[in-house]
Amino acid sequence: MNKFEYVAGGTAGYYTRLSNDGMAGYKALKWLMSLLLAALVTGCGGGDGSGAVPADTTAPTISSTAIVPADAATGIALNANITASFNEAMDAATITTETFTLTQGGAPVAGAVAYVGTTAVFNPTSDLAASTVYTATVTTGVKDVAGNALAAVKTWSFTTGTTADATAPTVNSTVPADTAIGVAVNADITATFSEVMDPSTITTATFTLAQGITPIAGAVTYVGTTAIFNPTSDLAASNAYTATVTTGVKDLAGNALAAAKTWSFTTGTAVAAGPAPVVLGTAGNYAILAETLISTTAGTAVTGDIGISPAAASLITGFSLTLDPSGCFSTPTPATLVVGKVYAADYSTGGCPTPANLTTAVGDMMVAYTDAAGRTLPDFTELGAGDISGMTLAPGLYKWGTGVLINSNVTLNGGPNDVWIFQIAGDLTMASATSMLLAGGALPKNIFWQVGGGTGVTIGTTAHFEGVILATKAIALNTGASGNGRLLAQTAVTLDNNAVTQPAP
């Protein structure tokens, strides 16, 4: 058995390995290392010698990406709820109308407060006033389950629009996809929605899994715009399963899912190795997603959609864009530059949902980045002192406190359900004419490069990358570089006669 459990951590969350009975030697080694470490700590006088786990003294936080509506957001629906997600489990008794408030010009707004998973929800008693600024506050009166108060008061403001939200949400994508075969027996099942949902409506009653008519026990969590069903135990091999999300699921305005979503898949016999995949949410709708700039030269070929937000379409350069008559997206000239659509934050003609969709996608990108960066218990630490040139890498969680260099071909060897996550504190640099090679059936959709460096990612001339790149800074592809994956940057993506193809589902 190779079972993963999702542990909610605000909108970010993370996964931890529970067990891996298919890797008995690995388990034995980990057990022996833990035993030796415990003995070393005791022998050196660590702790009080009692073996007790140290008390939790870390204050909980709310990140800037863990609030809905976002700070300074405009055009918010009059019937919207307000949410704040914490980075850990909180004491529900401390989350009340005294510690989570909404005001308008200093006057309190009446409402009810609920707490689900790691998310607090403020539901105003009546619709908000149109074209009005509101301020939400979460005080340090809220505490985690260990009694630690919030690190700092969280305050943010937003401005309402003029109408209520009456649009029913939909399920945009699922993992596994409908009719998928050979699904790992330890897989989680996910459904990604078209917008942020009310977490209190996403439960084991509204998101179910069955084998024939037999319900499968599991736990349901919600992160970003994605619901995750984690079966209690591994699924049976070579069996058909059906997942269902009911219309009991609602968005933050109280609109029910447009229609129940049902999909089926068939397991294989394999157990997936490595950590659980990073949940991309609606950021996974784009081959390229950036916040400040997307530029290219002639000859680039992107297969998949492109999006930029909060920057406007004028910051997408080199594509010769023509706005579609709908006003919701544009297409490039020549059309071969992007086999897909191009979206920008200022495409809002006729009430197009593009700005809101992009805001959600960028939020999901931040959630995914935080998820990848927050994974714990790495299988490999500081491998090659940051130089992985020429290496063959097994599935797993890799961590570096430095940058990572690839000066000669790197091979990722594993099956189609296996996962790689690379946590890189510095920059990622691929030399010219180098490649990331996949072996054993490994798929780019299961490879995640989280890059936190101050420069970002540089893919050298004619180099080839594989996987999803999540970068706090820029992603630059030099002349002729190519890749199978996604470029998700919190600043800019620059292209120069490149080929970028989004992974198959």
Q: What is d(CA 325, CA 502) in angstroms, rounded to the nearest whole number?
A: 26
Question: Do 429 and 409 fall into the same domain?
Answer: yes
pTM: 0.80
Where in the sequence is the domain holding 15, given as residue range(s)?
Answer: 2-23+167-267
State the DSSP H helix or E strand holding residue 367, giving kind and residue range, or none if neither: helix 354-374
* Token pair of 415 as six digits: 């099956």
Question: Which of 117, 136, 160 is the endpoint of a domain?
Answer: 160
Model pLDDT, residue 33: 40
Nearest to 230 by CA among 189, 171, 275, 180: 189
The answer for residues whose C-beta is within 8 angstroms of residue 388's C-beta and 6 or more apart is: 404, 405, 406, 410
Question: Do 327 and 420 fall into the same domain?
Answer: yes
Q: What is d(CA 331, CA 325) in angstroms, rounded to the nearest whole number?
A: 11
Model pLDDT, residue 53: 59
Q: What is d(CA 121, CA 115) in angstroms, rounded to the nearest whole number?
A: 6
Q: What is d(CA 104, CA 93) in angstroms, rounded to the nearest whole number?
A: 25
Q: Which CATH number belongs to the domain containing residue 194 in this structure?
A: 2.60.40.1220
Q: Which residue has 């030697």 as its token pair?
A: 25
* Token pair of 221 as six digits: 């969590």
Q: What is d(CA 274, CA 9) in angstroms, rounded to the nearest whole number?
A: 20
The answer to whether 259 touches 247, Cβ cutoff 8 Å, is yes
Q: How far is CA 426 from CA 268, 400, 477, in A?
A: 38, 8, 18
The answer for residues whose C-beta is within 8 angstroms of residue 24's C-beta and 6 or more apart is: none
The answer for residues whose C-beta is within 8 angstroms of residue 228's C-beta and 6 or more apart is: 6, 188, 189, 190, 220, 221, 222, 279
Question: Do 374 and 316 fall into the same domain?
Answer: yes
Residue 219 bridge partners (DSSP): 230
| Domain-embedded: residue 52 | no
10-residue averages of pLDDT along the chain (505 residues)? 37 33 36 38 43 78 83 89 89 96 96 89 95 97 94 95 92 94 95 92 96 96 92 97 97 94 97 94 96 94 96 95 94 94 90 86 91 94 97 98 98 96 98 97 97 97 98 97 97 97 89
| Domain-embedded: residue 31 | no
Question: Do 340 and 399 fall into the same domain?
Answer: yes
| Domain-embedded: residue 214 | yes
Question: Do 179 and 140 fall into the same domain?
Answer: no
Question: Do 104 and 199 fall into the same domain?
Answer: no
Q: Which residue has 């509506």 as its token pair?
A: 69
Question: Do 368 and 480 fall into the same domain?
Answer: yes
Tens digits of residue pLDDT in 179-214: 999 999 999 999 999 998 999 899 999 999 999 999
Question: Do 416 and 299 fall into the same domain?
Answer: yes
DSSP state at residue 351: G
Model pLDDT, residue 52: 60
State which amino acid sits at residue 216.
I
Number of compact structural domains in the chain: 3
* Token pair of 225 as six digits: 């715009």
State the DSSP H helix or E strand holding residue 181, giving kind and residue range, or none if neither: strand 180-183
* Token pair of 85 as six digits: 């997600």
Answer left, alpha or beta for residue 444, where phi above 0 means left and psi between -120 and 50 means alpha.
Answer: alpha
Question: Do 236 and 378 fall into the same domain?
Answer: no
Nearest to 381 by CA among 359, 396, 367: 396
Q: For 232-273, give the DSSP string.
A: SSPPPTT-EEEEEE-TT-BBTT-PBPSS-EEEEEEE-S----
The answer to whether 191 touches 209, Cβ cutoff 8 Å, is no
Question: Do 257 and 292 fall into the same domain?
Answer: no
User: How many residues can be counted in the chain?
Assistant: 505
Q: What is d(CA 468, CA 431) in angstroms, rounded to the nearest whole number?
A: 18
Question: Do 385 and 469 fall into the same domain?
Answer: yes
